[in-house]
Structure 1
Amino acid sequence: MSSRIVLVVNAGSSSLKFSVFRADDAATLQLAARGQIDGIGTRPRLRVTDATGSVVVERDFAVAEVRGVKDAIRLAGAWLHERFQHEPLLAVGHRVVHGGAQFSHPLLIDAEVFAALEQLIPLAPLHQPHNLAAIRAVREAQPQVPQVACFDTAFHRTHPQIADLYALPWEYYESGVRHYGFHGLSYEYIAAMLPQVAPGISDGRVIVAHLGSGASLCALRAGKSVDSTMGFSPLDGVPMGTRPGALDPGVLLHLINQRGLSGADLEKLLYRESGLLGLSGISNDMRVLLESQEPRAQLAVEYFVHYTVKQIGALAAVLGGVDGLVFTAGIGERSSVIRAHILQACAWLGVSLDTAANARGGPRISTEGSAIPVWVIPTDEELMIARHTLLLIISGKGGHHVD
C-alpha cells in the first residue's frame, strides 16, 4: 500500500470538522491537515491548517453555498481533491456519538449498520442525525470509498452492569434507558498513551478529566472504563459550557408542571442555555470567565471547580482509591488556573501540585513527593479514529461487533 489518505470527519449541527492523515506502507499515520467549516446555514467559513498549525486556507462562503452538512462535505471534498489529488482516498472514519448498547467497537458501515444507527437517533437527537448526514453525503459522493463508524460510547461498554443502571422499572433498562457515557474516543486515546507517558499508573486506578466545552470524567482500571460521569446523554455529570451537568429530575418536573416548558423548551434550555453560560450570563468560554471581574463569572468558575472535585471524589470511591489523575481536552490541557484550583481541593487525596510544572503545562504537574501523580496529556480523538479506520481496512475485518 503506497501513501494514501485517511479522512476523519466529525459533523455537528453548525460545523464540520475534518482531519487528513497520510497512511504509508507500514500503516503509520501522519497528520497532513486539519480543517473546519463553521457557521453552516448562517455564516459559512472554511479554515484549514497544516501539520505545523500554519493556516493553509481561510475563506468565507455565501449562505446558499453551505446550507447543510451535505454542502459542507461537498465543499470540503472539493478542497481535499485539489490539495491531495495525487493521493487516493483510502477510507473515511466518522465520529458517531451514539453506538447504543450493541456496538462496542468501530465497524465498517454498510446498509444494515446505517439502519441500526438511525434507530439510535432518539438517544442522541442533537448529534446522531448530523453524524449520519455526513456518512450519507460521503456515500453519495464516493460510494466506492469504505466508511468506518467510531463511537463515543463504545469505550464505556466495559462498565459493570451496576454502573449502567438507573433505579427505574426494569423495562426502561431493557428499552435502552441506561448509563452510556461519552467522550469515549478521548478516553481511549489517553488509555493508549498512559504506558508511554506515565507507565507507573497505566495498569492502575486512574481518573481522567476531559474538561472542555463538553466535560466529563472517567474512572479507568488497567486502561478500561469502569464508570464515567456522563450517563444516558451528554448532559449529565460536571457542568459544561452550555449544559448543566447533574440535575435533580424534580427541577425538570417543576419546569414542566409549574413553568409550562415544553420538551423543545427543555431541550434548548439544557443543551444551549445552561452551564457556564447560564450561571455567568456572560459566556460559555472559560477563558472569558477567568478574565472577568463580574461576580457571576467568578461564581461560574467556582461552581465548575466544585462539581469537578465532587465527581473526582465519587470516582475515587468507585475505584477504591486512586493511583493517578490526568487532565485533558481544552480546559484540562490549557488552563493552569483551573487545574490548580481543582488540585488544591484534592489535597485530601495526597496530591501535591508543582506550581512551576503546572504553569508550563506538564506533562507531570505534581511534585515528586505527591502521593498521587498528576499528568496533563493532550487528547487526539481524530488520530484515534484514523487508527481504527486504518486497522479495519488493512485487516479486512469489517464484521459487526455486537454485544
Structure 2
Amino acid sequence: MKNILVINSGSSSLKFQLIQIPSETVLASGLVERIGLEGAKLHYKTKNFSGSREFAVPNHAVALKAVTDMLLDNEKGVVKNPEEISAIGHRVVHGGNTFSKTTVIDEKVKKAIKNLFSLAPLHNPPNLKGIEVAEKLFPDAPQVAVFDTAFHSSIPEKASKYAIPDKFYEKEHIQLYGFHGTSHKYVTENAQNYLQQEKAKIISIHLGNGCSITAVKDGKSIDHSLGFGPVNGLIMGTRSGDIDQSVIFYMVEQLGYSIQEVSEILHHKSGMYGLTGYSDLRDIEAAAARGNKQCQLALEMNAYRIKKYIGAYAAAMNGVDAIVFTAGIGENSSMIRKMVCADMDYFGIKLDEKQNELRSKEIRKISSENSKVKILVVPTNEELEIARQVMELVS
C-alpha cells in the first residue's frame, strides 16, 4: 500500500486528500480556506474524526504545515511520520504546450510552470507555491504535477487552432488549451467501464461554478468548450461563456470601460450571476419556482447553450453513445438535466424522469430503456484521478 497526498492549491485555499493506493481508501481529507484573510479555517476529516478550527493562516506554508500537523497528530492523525507519505500529487491548472502528461517535478518543471503564469495568473502561481512548500515539508517524497490541460492535448489542430494570423499561434502559443481535464478524463473512463465499451463516443458535461463540455472519442478528447482561458463556452456561475468579440470592442471604445473592467465583468459579474443576481444554481432554481422570470430565462439560456454544444459534438464525432453529467450541478440538479435532455428526440436522447430525480453517489443511468443514447450521471473525483496518475508514474 502507498499513501498519496493530493494537493490542490488555490489563490486563497488549499484542498487535500490522503489516499491509500491501490485500495483507493481516503485516509484523510479537508480544506484550508481564506488563506491570507481573516477568519481562516482548517476543515479536517478522517474515518473517526471530523472538525474545523479557525486560526491565523498568513500564507500557504502555514496552511500546509497545519495540514501536515493534523495528518501526524497522535490522536487525530493517520500517519506516524512524513516518510509514510509515498508521493505528493499537485493539481496544476495550465501546462501549456510544454506538458501533455503527468510529470515528476524538478527545477526545470517548476521553471516551466512559472513561465506559464501569464496563461493562468489566478491558478498557476498558487499551484507552484503549493509545490515549493510541499518540497520543504516532505523532502523525501516525489512531487508530481498533474495538469488540467493535459487531457486536451489530444485535440486535433483543426479544432484547437484559432483563425487568426499564424504568428500568434507559432510565437505566442495562442490556441485552445481546455480545462477540467482531470475531471473529464476520470468520468469518461468510468463511463466506458460502465458501458463496457472500450471504444465509445461520449459527451462529458462538467457543470459547477465553472462549466465545460468535452467531446471524447475512444478515450481521447477531440474538442472542448473552454479555450485559451476559462471564460469561453457554456454559461457559468459568474463567467459569460461564449460572447461576440464585438461586444468587448464596443464596451471599451464606445462605453468607456477599461480592458481590466471588461475582464472583471466577463469573469466575475456575468453568467448566471449577471443574469439573475445569484451565482448559486440552487438559489436560481428556487427563485424560478417562485415565478422569477429572470431566473426562469437564465435556466433556459443555460440549458440551450449546453444543447447547442451537444449538437456540435455529435456532429464532430459522427454520433454519440453516451452523455455524461458530472460535478456539483451536473450530479445534483435534476432540473438542469431534464431541461438539457428535453426535445432531443432527433438524437435519440430520452430521459427517464423517475430515475433522474433519484440521488446517489454512485454512477447511474437516467436514460429511458428506449433511448438510443445512454444518459449517465457520473460523480467526479479529481483527487482520486490525480492519485492514480501519480501512482502509475512513481511505482
Question: Do both proteins adopt the same fold according to a TM-score greater than 0.5, normalized to the shorter chain?
Answer: yes
2:62 is aligned with what amino acid? D
1:77 is aligned with what amino acid? T
TM-aligned CA deviation for residue 137 of structure 1: 1.3
2:345 is aligned with what amino acid? A
- Which residue is 2:182 aligned to? 185
- Which residue is 1:98 aligned to? 94
TM-aligned CA deviation for residue 224 of structure 1: 0.8
Give the alignment partner of residue 194 of structure 1, picking from 185, 191, 194: 191
Give the alignment partner of residue 354 of structure 1, picking from 352, 355, 363: 352
What CA distance in whole angstroms lies between the structure 2 residues aligned with 1:213 and 1:291?
17
- Say whether the 8 Å CA contact 2:12–2:33 is kept in structure 1: yes
Secondary structure of 1:47 counterpart: strand
TM-aligned CA deviation for residue 277 of structure 1: 0.9
- Which residue is 1:116 aligned to? 112
TM-aligned CA deviation for residue 259 of structure 1: 2.8
What CA distance in whole angstroms lies between the structure 2 residues aligned with 1:383 and 1:214?
20
- Say whether the 8 Å CA contact 2:192–2:200 is kept in structure 1: no
After superposition, the CA RMSD in angstroms is 1.6
TM-aligned CA deviation for residue 126 of structure 1: 1.2
1:371 is aligned with what amino acid? K
- Which residue is 2:33 aligned to? 38
TM-aligned CA deviation for residue 379 of structure 1: 1.0
1:289 equivalenced with 2:290 (yes/no): no
Secondary structure of 2:387 counterpart: helix
1:22 equivalenced with 2:16 (yes/no): no
1:221 equivalenced with 2:236 (yes/no): no
User: Structure 1 residues 138, 277: CA separation in 2 closer, same or farther (over 3 Å shift)?
Assistant: same
Q: Deviations over 1:85-118 (max 9, x none)?
A: 4261111101100011121110100000100111
- Say whether the 8 Å CA contact 2:162–2:175 is kept in structure 1: yes
Secondary structure of 1:5 counterpart: strand
What CA distance in whole angstroms lies between the structure 1 residues aligned with 2:125 and 2:217?
33
Equivalences for residues 2-401 of structure 1 within 5 A: 3-23=1-21, 27-42=22-37, 43-50=39-46, 56-61=50-55, 65-82=56-73, 83-86=77-80, 88-174=84-170, 175-200=172-197, 202-281=198-277, 283-292=278-287, 293=290, 294-361=292-359, 363-394=364-395
What CA distance in whole angstroms lies between the structure 2 residues aligned with 1:49 and 1:295?
41
Unpaired runs of at least 5, structure 2: none
What CA distance in whole angstroms lies between the structure 1 residues aligned with 2:259 and 2:27?
43
What CA distance in whole angstroms lies between the structure 2 residues aligned with 1:147 and 1:35?
20
What CA distance in whole angstroms lies between the structure 2 residues aligned with 1:191 and 1:349?
20
Secondary structure of 1:383 counterpart: helix
TM-aligned CA deviation for residue 332 of structure 1: 0.8
What CA distance in whole angstroms lies between the structure 1 residues aligned with 2:95 and 2:343?
35
Instruction: Say which is worse superposed, 139-148 or 127-136, in terms of deviation.
Output: 139-148
How many residues matched?
A: 382
What CA distance in whole angstroms lies between the structure 2 residues aligned with 1:50 and 1:342?
37
What CA distance in whole angstroms lies between the structure 2 residues aligned with 1:264 and 1:75?
36
TM-aligned CA deviation for residue 303 of structure 1: 1.5
User: Structure 1 residues 144, 261: CA separation in 2 closer, same or farther (over 3 Å shift)?
Assistant: farther
What CA distance in whole angstroms lies between the structure 2 residues aligned with 1:267 and 1:4?
44
Q: Deviations over 1:250-297 (max 9, x none)?
A: 11112222233333323322222111111111x211111101133222
What CA distance in whole angstroms lies between the structure 2 residues aligned with 1:130 and 1:4?
26
Q: Deviations over 1:329-383 (max 9, x none)?
A: 1111111111011101423311111111111147111111111111111111100
2:30 is aligned with what amino acid? G
TM-aligned CA deviation for residue 73 of structure 1: 1.6
What CA distance in whole angstroms lies between the structure 2 residues aligned with 1:204 and 1:284?
34
What is the TM-score with the length of structure 2 in the denominator? Answer: 0.93
- Say whether the 8 Å CA contact 1:47–1:55 is kept in structure 2: no
What CA distance in whole angstroms lies between the structure 2 residues aligned with 1:104 and 1:147?
17
Secondary structure of 1:368 counterpart: coil
**Identity within the alignment, %:** 38
Unpaired runs of at least 5, structure 1: 395-403
- Say whether the 8 Å CA contact 1:280–1:299 is kept in structure 2: no
2:54 is aligned with what amino acid? D
TM-aligned CA deviation for residue 4 of structure 1: 4.1
